[in-house]
Chains A and B, each alone.
Chain A
Amino acid sequence: MIKCMFSLTVVIILAVLAFVGAETAGFKAQFLFGIAIPYAALLIFVIGVLNRVIGWARSPVPFAIPSTCGQQKSLPWIKPANLDNPTTTGGVFGRMFLEVFLFRSLFRNTKTQLSEGPKISFNLEIFLWLAAIAFHASFFTVLARHLRLFTEPVPSVIQLLEKVDGMLQVGVPGILLSGFVLLAAVSYLLLRRIIEPQVNYISLTQDYFPLFLIIGIAASGILMRHIFKIDVIGAKQLAMGLVTFHPTIPEGIGGIFYVHVFFVSVLLAYFPFSKLMHMGGIFMSPTRNLPGNTRAVRHVNPWNYPVHTHTYEEYEEEFRGKMIEAGLPVEKE
Chain B
Amino acid sequence: MSQNNHHDKEEKKMYNKGEVITGLVLFAVIFAFPFWYNMGKAAPVPEPVLTEQAKAAKECIKPKALMKTDHMQILNDWRNSVARDRNRIYVNSSNKEFDMSLSNNCLDCHSNKAEFCDKCHTYASVSPYCWDCHIDKPKEK
With a CB–CB cut-off of 8 A, which chain A residues contact B42? 152, 237, 240-241, 244, 246
> Which listed residue (B14, B68, B76, B127) contacts A57, Cβ 8 A?
B14
Answer whether residue B17 sits at the interface, using C-beta atoms and an 8 A cutoff.
Answer: yes
Contact B69 A229 (CB under 8 A): yes
Q: In the complex the two chains form, what is the Cα distance from A53 to B69 in whole Å?
A: 43
| Segment at the A interface, from B31-39, B92-100, B108-116 | B31-39
Answer whether residue A27 sits at the interface, using C-beta atoms and an 8 A cutoff.
Answer: no
User: Contact flags (1/0) for B14-49 with A, using CB distance below 8 Å?
Assistant: 111100100110011001011101101111011000
Answer whether residue B72 sits at the interface, using C-beta atoms and an 8 A cutoff.
Answer: yes
Contact B14 A233 (CB under 8 A): no
Answer whether residue B65 sits at the interface, using C-beta atoms and an 8 A cutoff.
Answer: yes
> Which listed residue (B31, B75, B125) contacts A172, Cβ 8 A?
B75
User: Contact flags (1/0) for B56-92 with A, using CB distance below 8 Å?
Assistant: 0000000001001110110110000000000000000
- Classify the interface of chain A: helix, strand, loop or mixed: loop
Number of interface residues of B (CB under 8 A): 44
B79 vs chain A, min Cβ distance (A) = 9
With a CB–CB cut-off of 8 A, which chain A residues contact B123? 152, 233, 236
Answer whether residue A112 sits at the interface, using C-beta atoms and an 8 A cutoff.
Answer: no
> Which listed residue (B28, B76, B125) contacts A154, Cβ 8 A?
B125
Contact A53 B125 (CB under 8 A): no
Contact A169 B129 (CB under 8 A): yes
> Which listed residue (B3, B43, B73, B127) contacts A305, Cβ 8 A?
B3
Contact A243 B70 (CB under 8 A): no
Answer whether residue B12 sits at the interface, using C-beta atoms and an 8 A cutoff.
Answer: yes
Answer whether residue A303 sits at the interface, using C-beta atoms and an 8 A cutoff.
Answer: yes
B114 vs chain A, min Cβ distance (A) = 16
Q: A151-B37, A240-B43 are in contact. Are A302 and B125 (CB under 8 A)?
A: no
Chain A residues with a Cβ under 8 A of chain B: 46, 49-50, 53-54, 57-61, 147-155, 158-159, 162-163, 169, 171-173, 229-233, 236-237, 240-241, 243-246, 250, 252, 280, 283, 302-303, 305-306
Nearest first, the 5 closest Cβ-Cβ pairs linking A and B are A229-B69, A150-B34, A152-B43, A148-B125, A172-B76
